[in-house]
Structure 1
């Protein structure tokens, strides 16, 4: 597996091709915005029938990352389900797959704006979580000086072509891309994300070979250094 190590919050975090973040030393794997059941919600609310394969595809990706890392802890940064009804309507096969993935490991469900309450599945359900000197939450808190990991915004960035989902970070915060299928994205250089990253920031473009690239340039006359 092609991965990229990033110094962050005094730790070394590994970015996987999927956009998951893995702490090798602590044994946790972090993902965000699975949005399981999105096709169900779209059909329910809009009457549009999307191919309902996104749950299986997202769980395939998660299973592969857990197998590759041997993660002892899985942290889901919110919006794990597209809404509470989608979590209740999850097919039995998907529930069995999730249950199997949880066996033998700690599982942290962080609340998101799409799933703001317990979803009836095993694991710990929390508003935020703190471990290893890091804060894990769904939406970045601009008042927090960090280090924090969050999701929600589905950042995307590109160099010389189309934008790709990316892990967006600076010295204080890291925002993970959406992990699920049928999820859009927000430009890393757009107004919303630029406000959260007023200084130098970087993106790791996801895909078969993660690519590190600056999003904002270093001040003129000063060399760019890796953050940590």
Structure 2
């Protein structure tokens, strides 16, 4: 899987090249910010601008990760759909694919800021959840320990390595996942909004053909300083 091993709060983790996070001890696969229905939402609000294939591509990648890891429970860390209407308008083929992935597995929808999770697609619906020593929620809380979250869609570029890549961010207390869905924007991992949440040493794990762990440069901000900023404000557009 070309995954990167990580440890948080004494829990062994695998950061997958796809942007998913696998917990071998509980056979749990965690993904964040699927943003299913983004193309439909954009078309609804501004006219057709994006190819309408993101749901199939995102769910296809999720199916591959489930098969590769043998995950028995799936945790979606919020913003699973671009908005509530996008969940209702999900393509029948994508809906069937999602129901197939749910069959025989525990499935948890964590509430996000874009949507509360689709109420007619089965699974448990929670504002946050605890699994062993870890707490899973959508948006990071300053000062939290053993926290796994999403929301910010972090990205990081390496000198001479082309475009920035979605990445995980981790220190001794927290882990932020990249956006798993297609057509999602992102926030620089070196933005003060993100560096304020992390203590040094902190690392980024870049996604791609293999998960690559690199040091996260310090932004000079103190951890726990500013409160979390909604992503659409941080990047200056709807995320």
Query: Residues 88 and 119 of structure 1 are in contact (CA less than 8 Å); yes or no, is this contact kept in structure 2?
Result: no
Gap runs ≥5 in structure 2: 219-239
Secondary structure of the structure 2 residue equivalent to 1:25: coil
Per the TM alignment, residue 49 of structure 1 is displaced from its structure 2 partner at its CA by: 3.0
Which residue of structure 1 aligns with residue 235 of structure 2? none
Query: Residues 109 and 126 of structure 1 are in contact (CA less than 8 Å); yes or no, is this contact kept in structure 2?
Result: yes
Which residue of structure 1 aligns with residue 119 of structure 2? 119
Partner Cα separation in structure 1 for residue 131 and residue 178 of structure 2: 21
Per the TM alignment, residue 143 of structure 1 is displaced from its structure 2 partner at its CA by: 3.5
* CA deviations over 1:63-88 (Å, ceiling 9, x no partner): 00000011010000000000000000
Trace 1:23-34 onto structure 2 (pairs within 5 A): 23-34=23-34
Per the TM alignment, residue 117 of structure 1 is displaced from its structure 2 partner at its CA by: 5.3
Secondary structure of the structure 2 residue equivalent to 1:177: coil
Which residue of structure 1 aligns with residue 172 of structure 2? 171
Per the TM alignment, residue 154 of structure 1 is displaced from its structure 2 partner at its CA by: 0.2
Which residue of structure 1 aligns with residue 95 of structure 2? 95
Which residue of structure 2 aligns with residue 133 of structure 1? 133
In the superposition, the TM-score normalised over structure 2's length comes to 0.88
Which residue of structure 1 aligns with residue 231 of structure 2? none
* CA deviations over 1:87-110 (Å, ceiling 9, x no partner): 000011111111110111100000
Which residue of structure 2 aligns with residue 150 of structure 1? 149
Inter-CA distance 49–158: structure 2 relative to 1 (3 Å threshold): closer
Partner Cα separation in structure 1 for residue 76 and residue 137 of structure 2: 9
Per the TM alignment, residue 116 of structure 1 is displaced from its structure 2 partner at its CA by: 2.8
Secondary structure of the structure 1 residue equivalent to 2:43: helix
**Matched pairs, number:** 216
Partner Cα separation in structure 2 for residue 198 and residue 154 of structure 1: 19
RMSD: 1.2
Query: Residues 171 and 199 of structure 2 are in contact (CA less than 8 Å); yes or no, is this contact kept in structure 1?
Result: no
Which residue of structure 1 aligns with residue 187 of structure 2? 186
Partner Cα separation in structure 1 for residue 196 and residue 123 of structure 2: 34
Query: Residues 87 and 118 of structure 2 are in contact (CA less than 8 Å); yes or no, is this contact kept in structure 1?
Result: no
* CA deviations over 1:169-189 (Å, ceiling 9, x no partner): 101110000000000111111
* CA deviations over 1:13-66 (Å, ceiling 9, x no partner): 001110100011211000000000000000111123311000000001000000
Structure 1 residue ranges, 4+ long, deviating more than 4 angstroms after superposition: none
Does the alignment pair 1:215 with 2:237? Answer: no
Which residue of structure 1 aligns with residue 52 of structure 2? 52
